[in-house]
Structure formats: C-alpha cells, structure tokens
Amino acid sequence: MDSTAPSLDDIEEIARRTVEGLPERFRTAARAVALRVVDFAPDDILRDMEADPFDLSGLYDGIPLTQKSVMDTPHGPDVVWLFRRPILDEWAERGNVTVTELVAHVTVHEFAHHFGWSDDDIAHIDPWWE
C-alpha cells in the first residue's frame, strides 16, 4: 500500500490501526472520537479557517478533554478529520516517508489536540517537520 495512492477506506484503516496502537490511557478516549476521512475539508471548514483545501491534511473538531465540563451543552461528537488529497500531495512531495507513516502522524497529531495539546506542545515532542 505504500507505493500506490491509498483509497479513503485505506486511510481510515491506517488511522484506526494507529488509534489501536496508542497507549491504553489514550486509546480509550480516542475510541470515543468520530473519525472522518474525506478527500478535502468541507467548504464551511475551509471558509471558517480561511484555508486552502490543499494545505489542510487533518483537523480536530471538538472540545479538548482538558476543557470539557459536565456543564457543557453537547454540540455533537468530537471528530478527527483526515483529508486524503492533501495527505497524498504531501506524501508525494516529501518522498522520504511512507503513506502509512504520514497518515499515522497526522492521526496522532489531531488526536493530540483532542487530549488538549497545542501545536507547540506537539512540535516539542514530535519534531516531524524539521
């Protein structure tokens, strides 16, 4: 699978395996988050973020666990989104990682936001982009 472009289902399978590989204390909470894999971010997300559709490979949409309260009014399930086309473009441009590694990285990054980590926290622990 790492030499051909994966399908939406392939990316979802990689992401689910990644979640199952998380340490138990994170895995249980991660399983409660919806996982959506689509080709591009929906237009409303792109508009709200003022983002280019090819620049956004993943997104956590929800309230981080560190900010949740029993007093919160539920707005729907927390969701980790993975966007196939930007992931594939980055995979092709980088040329030094497998698609499985890249999907796993994006998945872990977005779930880290669910656990309350900032981009700076994540970058400190995972210097992926260096």
Question: Structural domain boundaries of the chain?
Answer: 8-67+75-125
Q: Is the dihedral of CA 88, 57, 114, 119 positive or negative?
A: positive
Residue 128's pLDDT band (boundaries 50, 70, 90)?
Answer: low
DSSP percent split of the chain into helix, strand, coil, nearest 5: 50, 10, 40
Angle (CA) 36-125-33 rounded to 5° is 20
pLDDT at 68: 76
Quickly name the fold that domain 8-67+75-125 has: Zincin-like (3.30.2010)
CB neighbour list of residue 127: distance below 8 Å, 6 or more residues apart: none
pLDDT at 127: 62
pTM for this one? Answer: 0.86
